Amino acid sequence: MLFVLVLFLQLFLFNQINLFIPAEYSPYVLIYPLFYLLLPVQFNRSFLILMAFVLGLIIDFSQDSLGVHAGASVMGAFCRKYVLNILESKTGFSSNSVPNLRENELLWIMQYNFIVLFIHGLWLFTLEIFTFYFVFSILIKALLTAAISTIALLIIQLLYRSK
């Protein structure tokens, strides 16, 4: 699993080069949240938050971005449980279930990814901009980031499933 983590980092670096044109509303393409999105549902939550923090921290260091991704990852990992609770399907989760494409529908995965990524994105840009004067910009950025990252993550998960 650690190997996959490093792979995520690489992908994230690649997506880093692909910066778009807009200025105030530029989104990021985030791949690394996939790490804490794909962990089993009943995974020890405190350990999950800790790992998400470390992952975010590594991203921060490679990107000079202070503590921004670390904070956002912690927020995302924390809210993951609540999102899963809300989105829980009728059959519920078994003790081993993992929120990946093997066990769930594409649409469900999309919703799950998007919501958690949106929360992640909101907190990320809030920390980055650090004032509430630019609330609108934060919202737009978070939405766009969540959208683009969801698409990217879906592609990755689809690729991985067919492997």
Partner 1 sequence: MALNKQNYSVDNKYLIALLFLGLQCISIAMVVWSNDNQNLIFNNSVKIFTNKIGVQTAGLSNYLNLSNIIDSLVDENAQLIEQLENNRKLINKSGSIDLDQYYTVVAARVIRKTKDKLNNYVMLDKGSNDGVNITSGVLSNQGVVGQVVQVSENFSRVMTLEHSNAKISVKSKNAKYFGIMSWDTWSTNRYIIKDYPKYLDIKVGDTILTSGYSTIFPDSIPLGKVVDFSEQIEEDRLLVEVELFKDVLEPDYVYILKNNDRKEIDSLFQDGH
Nearer to partner 1, 4 or 136 (CB): 136
Nearer to partner 1, 100 or 137 (CB): 137
- Exactly one of 1, 2, 3, 91 binds partner 1 (CB under 8 A); that residue is 91
Reference 69, options 28, 111, 15, 112; nearest CA is 28
Half-sphere exposure of 130 (CA within 13 A, CB side): 6
Please say whether the beta carbons of 154 and 105 come within 8 A: no
Minimum separation from the CB atom of position 1 to partner 1 (A) = 20
Q: Does the footprint of partner 1 cover residue 33 (CB under 8 A)?
A: no
- Exactly one of 1, 2, 94, 159 binds partner 1 (CB under 8 A); that residue is 94
- Exactly one of 60, 117, 121, 157 binds partner 1 (CB under 8 A); that residue is 60
Nearer to partner 1, 31 or 157 (CB): 31
Would you give the distance in Å from CA 92 to the centre of its chain? Answer: 23
- Say which residues have a Cβ less than 8 Å from residue 121's Cβ, sequence separation at least 6: 27, 28, 30, 72, 141, 142, 143, 145, 146, 149
Binding residues (CB under 8 A) for partner 1: these are: 17, 19, 23-24, 26, 42, 44-46, 49-50, 53, 56, 60-68, 70-71, 74-75, 78, 85, 88, 90-95, 127-130, 134
